[in-house]
Chains A and B, each alone.
Chain A
Amino acid sequence: MQHSGARDSETAALLAGLRSDVGEAHVATGAPDRDAYSRDLWPRSLLDQIAGDPPTLPDAVVWPGSVDEVAAVVRRCAAARVPIVPFGAGSGVCGGTRPTHGGIVVDLKRLKRLRRVDAEAGVIEVEGGFVGELLERRLEAEGLTLGHFPSSIICSTVGGWLAGRSAGQLSSRYGKIEDMVVDLEVVTGDGRVRRTPPAGAPGAGPDWNQIFVGSEGTLGIITAATLRVHPQPTARRFRGWMVPTPEAGFEVMRRTLQEGWRPSVLRLYDPLDTVMVGSGPEEKGGGRSLGRLKEALGEGAPALKRRATVAALSVPGLINRAVKALPQRSLLVTMCEGDEAEAGATDEAIARIARTVGGRDLGEGPGRKWYAHRYDVSFKQSKMYRSGAFVDTMEVATTWTKLAELYEAVREAVAPHVLIMAHFSHAYPGGCSIYFTFAGTGRTPEEMKARYDAAWRAGQDAVIAQGAVIAHHHGVGLSRVPYMDRVHGEARRWFDALKPVLDPAGIFNPGKVFSE
Chain B
Amino acid sequence: MNSGDPLVERLRWQLGPGTVDGPLADERCRVRVDGTATAARALRLLADAGVPVVIEGEPAAGAAVLTVERMNALLGLDAESGVAHVQAGCTWRRVEWLLRRRGLTLGPLPAWLLERTVLESFATNDRLRPSPRYGQLTDGALAFAAVLPRGGIARSSVAPRRSTGPDLGRVPVGARHRGGLLTEVHLQAWPAPEARAWRAIERPDWSSALAAAVAVLRAGVQPAWWRLDRPRPRGPVRIWASLVETAGNERPATRFDAVVGGAGIDAAEVEAAAAALFPPVSPDAPRAATTPAFGTVAWAPRATLPAVAAAVEGAEVWDVAPEGGTVYAPAPLDELQVRRLRDLGAHIDTGGDEGGDEWQPLAEAVFARLAPRTSSE
Instruction: Identify which of A206, A219, A338 gathers the most chain B CB atoms within 10 Å of its CB.
Output: A206
Contact residues in A for B365 (Cβ distance below 8 Å): 501
Contact residues in A for B154 (Cβ distance below 8 Å): 488-491, 493-494
Could you give, for residues 194-207 of chain A, a 1 whenever the CB lies within 8 Å of some chain B CB and a 0 otherwise? Answer: 10111011111111
Could you give, for residues 481-497 of chain A, a 1 whenever the CB lies within 8 Å of some chain B CB and a 0 otherwise? Answer: 00010011111111111
Instruction: Identify which of A167, A207, A484, A488 gathers the most chain B CB atoms within 10 Å of its CB.
Output: A207
- Pick out which of these stretches binds chain A: B14-22, B64-72, B174-182, B265-273: B174-182
Is A411 in contact with chain B by the CB < 8 A criterion? no
- Do the beta carbons of B127 and A202 come within 8 Å of each other? yes
Please provide the chain A residues from 186 to 214 with a CB less than 8 Å away from any CB of chain B in the complex. Answer: 188, 192, 194, 196-198, 200-208, 210-214
- Do the beta carbons of B167 and A470 come within 8 Å of each other? no
With A206-B171, A398-B158 known as contacts, the answer to whether A514 contacts B165 (CB < 8 A) is yes
With A204-B354, A476-B165 known as contacts, the answer to whether A197 contacts B78 (CB < 8 A) is no
Q: State A438–B170 Cα separation when bound (angstroms).
A: 33
Q: State A429–B352 Cα separation when bound (angstroms).
A: 35
B294 nearest CB across to chain A (Å):
10
Contact residues in B for A201 (Cβ distance below 8 Å): 299, 347, 349, 354
Q: Which residue of A lies closest to B358 (CB)?
A: A194
Contact residues in B for A349 (Cβ distance below 8 Å): 248-249
- Do the beta carbons of A164 and B171 come within 8 Å of each other? no
With A228-B323, A260-B249, A401-B81 known as contacts, the answer to whether A206 contacts B366 (CB < 8 A) is yes
Is A397 in contact with chain B by the CB < 8 A criterion? yes
Contact residues in A for B298 (Cβ distance below 8 Å): 202
- Do the beta carbons of B157 and A338 come within 8 Å of each other? no
- Do the beta carbons of A205 and B174 come within 8 Å of each other? yes
With A349-B248, A399-B142 known as contacts, the answer to whether A197 contacts B165 (CB < 8 A) is no
With A430-B160, A470-B164, A494-B179 known as contacts, the answer to whether A259 contacts B323 (CB < 8 A) is no
- Do the beta carbons of B81 and A202 come within 8 Å of each other? no
Q: Which positions in A face B, CB cutoff 8 Å?
A: 118, 120-123, 164-167, 176, 178, 182, 188, 192, 194, 196-198, 200-208, 210-216, 218-219, 226, 228, 231, 254, 258-262, 338-339, 341-342, 345, 349, 352-353, 395, 397-401, 426, 428-433, 467-476, 480, 484, 487-498, 500-502, 513-514
- Do the beta carbons of B301 and A164 come within 8 Å of each other? no
Q: State A491–B322 Cα separation when bound (angstroms).
A: 34
- Do the beta carbons of B191 and A259 come within 8 Å of each other? yes
Q: Which residue of A lies closest to B361 (CB)?
A: A501
Tally the A-B contacts, defined by beta carbons under 8 Å: 297
A123 nearest CB across to chain B (Å):
5
Given contacts A198-B323, A202-B348, A494-B168, 4 further A-B contacts (CB under 8 A): A121-B302, A342-B255, A429-B188, A484-B165
Could you give, for residues 244-286 of chain B, a 1 whenever the CB lies within 8 Å of some chain A CB and a 0 otherwise? Answer: 1011110110010010000000000000000000000000000
- Do the beta carbons of A399 and B366 come within 8 Å of each other? no
A-B contact pairs, 10 of them (CB 8 A): A121-B324, A166-B163, A207-B171, A258-B82, A467-B157, A472-B162, A476-B165, A480-B164, A497-B367, A501-B366
Could you give, for residues 351-377 of chain B, a 1 whenever the CB lies within 8 Å of some chain A CB and a 0 otherwise? Answer: 010111011001101110110000000
Among candidates A120, A259, A345, A430, residue contacting B83 with C-beta atoms closer than 8 Å: A430
- Do the beta carbons of B323 and A123 come within 8 Å of each other? yes
Per the CB 8 Å criterion, the residue count for chain B at the interface is 85
Q: State A493–B73 Cα separation when bound (angstroms).
A: 27
Contact residues in A for B323 (Cβ distance below 8 Å): 121-123, 182, 198, 226, 228
B16 nearest CB across to chain A (Å):
23
- Do the beta carbons of B179 and A206 come within 8 Å of each other? yes
B260 nearest CB across to chain A (Å):
15
Is B50 in contact with chain A by the CB < 8 A criterion? no
Contact residues in A for B159 (Cβ distance below 8 Å): 397-399, 430-431, 468-469, 472
- Do the beta carbons of B354 and A203 come within 8 Å of each other? yes
Contact residues in B for A204 (Cβ distance below 8 Å): 125, 174-176, 352, 354-355, 363
Contact residues in A for B366 (Cβ distance below 8 Å): 206, 497-498, 501
Q: State A488–B144 Cα separation when bound (angstroms).
A: 11
Among candidates B153, B160, B178, B356, residue contacting A431 with C-beta atoms closer than 8 Å: B160
- Do the beta carbons of A430 and B142 come within 8 Å of each other? yes
Q: State A216–B165 Cα separation when bound (angstroms).
A: 7
- Do the beta carbons of B163 and A260 come within 8 Å of each other? no
- Do the beta carbons of B156 and A491 come within 8 Å of each other? yes
Among candidates B152, B156, B163, residue contacting A214 with C-beta atoms closer than 8 Å: B163
Q: Which residue of A lies closest to B173 (CB)?
A: A205
Q: Which residue of A lies closest to B40 (CB)?
A: A490
A321 nearest CB across to chain B (Å):
30
- Do the beta carbons of B82 and A469 come within 8 Å of each other? no
B327 nearest CB across to chain A (Å):
10
